[in-house]
Amino acid sequence: MTPAQTLFETRRPAMTGLAYRMLGSRADAEDVVQDAWLRWRKVETTRVEDGAAFLNRVVARLCLDRLKSARARREVYVGEWLPEPVVEEDFDAVPGELDADLSVAFLLALERLTPLERAAFLLHDVFDTPFAEIAKTLGRGEAACRQLAARARQHVREERPRYRPSVDEERSLTTAFLLAAMTGDEVSPRNLLTPDVVWHADGGGKVSATLNPVYGLDNAVRLILGIQKKWPPPEGATARLARINGQPGIVLSHEDVVFQTIGLELVDGRIAAVYTMRNPDKLARLNS
């Protein structure tokens, strides 16, 4: 393996992490990294002063190009858009590079930023890129890039998980939530969910799912009971605990095919948000 190939493979996880945070799709992120590799192969790398910075610049620009078409697609997206789930099967796994700042709440906050704000913020605050380099990447002055990052930081500051429960607490709450959802018990969810809980779901117009977020404890409990009554999981379905975007969650399968993931956000010993992914296109990677 050449030095250029070694550098690229060393930087691959970080580049994938940047692209995923920019695009909200692991499949698109990997496509971007592959496109970056095709460009890197054509570069006279001995003339590149900082290969890591160069590769981040290429990935960021490729993502900005993709975001133009992605935003147009999301304007006609059926129901609520959620990022493609990143699943870690080991519930007790130590967070890796892709897990930092990976919560769905954080990614949705990034989605509300302009593409340039998102790029400036991620490159600086998450990937420690100097503003001088960010300015080269975005084709803006350093001062303008500082302003972009500052505006983005103000918007997303509150969306980073601040409460970090123990693994035992996560496992206990996630298991209890699964039992309550599967049995249709009304009392248990009221003891598990916060009064201002928010339930998100993404079916992409392909399968049944709530079209808009469901707010509040009473509405969430009614939703759980309604799902259990009208759309129970298929006979023989299995459920396992897993990490969904670094947070505790559940993976539901039938005949070895994943048909749903559920990510949970915990605050002060209760569930503050539920993120349900049912769009089969966004679950396809889990079945490949």
Give the model confidence (pLDDT) of 252-288 as tens digits: 999 999 999 999 999 999 999 999 999 999 999 998 7
- C-alpha to C-alpha distance for 266 and 260, rounded to whole angstroms: 20
pLDDT at residue 248, as a whole number: 94
Integer angstrom CA distances of residue 131 from 21, 51, 82, 149, 263: 19, 17, 30, 9, 34
- C-alpha to C-alpha distance for 66 and 63, rounded to whole angstroms: 5
Q: How many domains does the chain have?
A: 2
- Beta strands 193-202 and 214-215 are antiparallel
Q: Listing from the earlier edge strand, what are the strands of the sheet with 214-215?
A: 87-88, 238-244, 247-254, 257-267, 270-277, 193-202, 214-215
Q: pLDDT band for position 158 (50/70/90)?
A: low
The reply to whether 155 and 183 lie within a common domain is no
Q: pLDDT band for position 157 (50/70/90)?
A: confident
Backbone angles phi, psi at 200, to 5 degrees: -110, 145
Whether the CB-CB separation of 207 and 279 falls below 8 Å is answered with yes
Q: Does residue 258 sit in helix, strand or coil? A: strand
The reply to whether 104 and 183 lie within a common domain is no
Among 159, 180, 205, identify where a domain stops: 159
Q: pLDDT band for position 159 (50/70/90)?
A: low
The reply to whether 196 and 152 lie within a common domain is no
The amino acid that residue 179 corresponds to is L
pLDDT at residue 230, as a whole number: 80
The reply to whether 132 and 274 lie within a common domain is no
The reply to whether 154 and 172 lie within a common domain is no
Helices 142-156, 104-111: axis angle to 10 degrees equals 130
Q: CATH number of the domain at 217, please.
A: 3.10.450.50
Integer angstrom CA distances of residue 73 from 68, 81, 86: 9, 11, 21
User: Dihedral, CA atoms, 114, 19, 10, 27, nearest 10 degrees?
Assistant: 180
In the chain, which ranges are E strands? 87-88, 193-202, 214-215, 238-244, 247-254, 257-267, 270-277
State the residue range of the domain holding 174: 167-287
Among 159, 183, 214, identify where a domain stops: 159
The reply to whether 153 and 171 lie within a common domain is no
Q: Does residue 91 sit in helix, strand or coil? A: coil
- C-alpha to C-alpha distance for 146 and 135, rounded to whole angstroms: 9
- Residue in the block written with tokens 């035992």: 168
Residues 6+ apart with CB under 8 A from 87: 242, 243, 244, 249, 251, 261, 286
- What is the average pLDDT score of the chain? 90
Tokens describing residue 130: 């100097």
Tokens describing residue 105: 């709440």
pLDDT at 27 over 70: yes
pLDDT at residue 84, as a whole number: 95
Tokens describing residue 262: 């559920």
**DSSP classification of residue 199:** E
Whether the CB-CB separation of 104 and 275 falls below 8 Å is answered with yes
Counting runs of H as helices and runs of E as strands, what totals does the chain give? Answer: 11, 7
pLDDT at 220 over 70: yes
Tokens describing residue 123: 């490159």
The reply to whether 126 and 268 lie within a common domain is no
pLDDT at 184 over 80: no
Q: CATH number of the domain at 37, please.
A: 1.20.140.160
Whether the CB-CB separation of 221 and 228 falls below 8 Å is answered with no
- Nearest partner of 221 among 185, 269, 257, judged by Cα: 185
The reply to whether 220 and 271 lie within a common domain is yes
pLDDT at residue 49, as a whole number: 86
- C-alpha to C-alpha distance for 20 and 284, rounded to whole angstroms: 16
The reply to whether 206 and 146 lie within a common domain is no
Whole-prediction pTM: 0.89
The reply to whether 138 and 209 lie within a common domain is no
pLDDT (tens digit per residue) in 58-113: 999 999 999 987 776 777 888 999 999 999 999 987 655 445 578 898 899 999 89
Whether the CB-CB separation of 33 and 17 falls below 8 Å is answered with no
The reply to whether 172 and 66 lie within a common domain is no
